[in-house]
Amino acid sequence: MFGIGVQELLIILVIVLLVYGGRRLPELGSGIGRAITNFKKGMREPDEIDVTPSPPSKNDPDKRP
């Protein structure tokens, strides 16, 4: 799809390793995994309906002085 081969992926992984270091890579990977999991969970769940009433506006015809 993007034309990325094995060599390009290895170069990207080496750059990420140099930027973030070896100790932070597992934390980074688990954070990305949790984000993907939460995104998928959010897409499966139905939208929540907000039923809190809004304050009446000045131009509300039902409002009596």
What is the rounded distance in angstroms from the CA atom of residue 8 to the CA atom of residue 11?
5
- Report pLDDT for 28: 85
Give the model's pLDDT for residue 9: 87
Higher pLDDT, 20 or 30: 30
Both tokens of 2, joined, read 């993007």
Mean per-residue pLDDT over the chain, rounded: 82
Q: Could you tell me which residue, 17 or 59, shows the higher pLDDT?
A: 17
Residue 22 has pLDDT above 70, yes or no: yes
User: What pLDDT score was predicted for residue 21?
Assistant: 84
Looking at the whole model, is its pTM more than 0.85? no
Identity at 64, one-letter amino acid code: R
